Amino acid sequence: MMKGTAKLLNNCHSLNTIVIRSWCPVTTVSNNINVLSRRDAHSTIDTRDYFHEPNNNKVLDTFWDPKGTFRVLHLWNYLRLPFIRDGLVHVAPGEKFSTCLKGKKILEVGCGGGILSEGLAKYGANVTGIDTCEKVLEIAIDHSSKNKRLANNKPTYILSAIEDHCISYPNTYDAIVVSEVIEHVAQKELFVECCVRATKPGGKLFFTTPSRTRFAQFYMIFLFEKILKCYAKNGHQYDTFMTPSELKFMLETNDCHVEDIKGYIYYPLADQWAWTNHKLFSFAMKAVKLPSKNENDNPIIADNSY
């Protein structure tokens, strides 16, 4: 099944990928995406999603305002960055955090304005951020070019969908990071499959996303967006949320071993994020891609010794 999938992916007409480094202008993304998965012939891009709506460009301009619409994403870095770091390396007492991920190749899928990508780059990682929204990549490039702390290690930003990127860069990254993104994409099975394809055997995958519960619907959509206004209005749709079991199944189907699942929540009164014993609001998942029997094979084949 997986070999058939790989052949279909390799034979498909790919998106014209545009590499955008910190000094390059952003050009428009092609609408001609025709990537075949084992289930359907669709793109993972949801053109109806908030971040693809041109009328929201003014809101997106506030991406790097720590007191603006996306301020909770800035605060979320205090929790998710250590989660990713500790899932990749052990930092000994006294070791510099600025070099702890040096040598690690990390792909952030759906990097947005670069809030998380820049944080990972400050750990010394070689970070590539991909997104299908031209506007947010312009913001990411502009901000990283002005960040003096990233002078010697700026993230590389690419205007691309994951189904295209994984064809060009299979088995490439030490870690794939998908934070607050999978709820914004179409064809989630294809999306996860492509994320795994871009990961090295033995590499890690990190996902964070809202839970599909009525609690999350009330808390995140009604309270956050409409009452407290600490996130963009209409930024989330309940039907696009996932459950931990669904995401775990998708990863295991692609021969990944899920190592950790934990819940987290944002407390508005305390103005901070915290890990929880429940997963009613959101959950984080860490998985490892199992080695294939033949390292030269692009398809992901489970090693029966695991």
Domains of the chain by residue range = 2-289
Average pLDDT of 17-33?
Answer: 34
The band of 214, judged by pLDDT with boundaries at 50, 70 and 90, is very high
**What percent of the chain lies above the pLDDT cut of 70?**
79
Identify the three-state secondary structure at position 22: coil
The band of 123, judged by pLDDT with boundaries at 50, 70 and 90, is very high
E strands, 138-238, where?
156-159, 173-179, 199-210
Q: Which residues pair with 209 in a beta bridge?
A: 283
Average pLDDT of 74-86?
Answer: 96
- Integer-rounded Cα Rg, in Å, for the chain is 18
Q: Domain 2-289 class?
A: alpha beta
Res 55: pLDDT: 58
Res. 33: pLDDT tops 50 = no
More confident residue, 85 or 44: 85
Res 93: pLDDT: 79
Average pLDDT of 167-195?
Answer: 96
The band of 233, judged by pLDDT with boundaries at 50, 70 and 90, is confident
pTM for this model (two decimals):
0.81
Identify the three-state secondary structure at position 173: strand
> Between the ranges 1-10, 93-102, 177-186, 232-241, where is the mean pLDDT highest?
177-186
Q: pLDDT tens digit string along 234-266?
A: 778 999 999 999 999 999 999 999 999 999 999
Res 189: pLDDT: 97
The band of 306, judged by pLDDT with boundaries at 50, 70 and 90, is very low
More confident residue, 15 or 85: 85
More confident residue, 113 or 16: 113
Mean of all residue pLDDT scores within the chain: 83
The residues near 48 (Cβ < 8 Å, ≥ 6 apart) are none
The band of 52, judged by pLDDT with boundaries at 50, 70 and 90, is low
Helix (H) or strand (E) holding 287: strand 282-289
Cα-based distances in Å from 177 to 5, 128, 186, 270, 284: 23, 10, 18, 27, 11
Strands 156-159, 272-276: pairing is unpaired
Concatenating the DSSP letter of every residue in 101-145 gives TTT-EEEEET-TTSHHHHHHHHTT-EEEEEES-HHHHHHHHHHHH
Res 50: pLDDT: 61
Res. 114: pLDDT tops 50 = yes
Average pLDDT of 91-120?
Answer: 93
Average pLDDT of 184-193?
Answer: 95
Res. 128: pLDDT tops 90 = yes
Cα-based distances in Å from 87 to 91, 105, 182, 288, 302: 10, 14, 20, 10, 22
> Between the ranges 16-20, 69-73, 151-155, where is the mean pLDDT highest?
151-155
35 with 189: CB under 8 angstroms? no
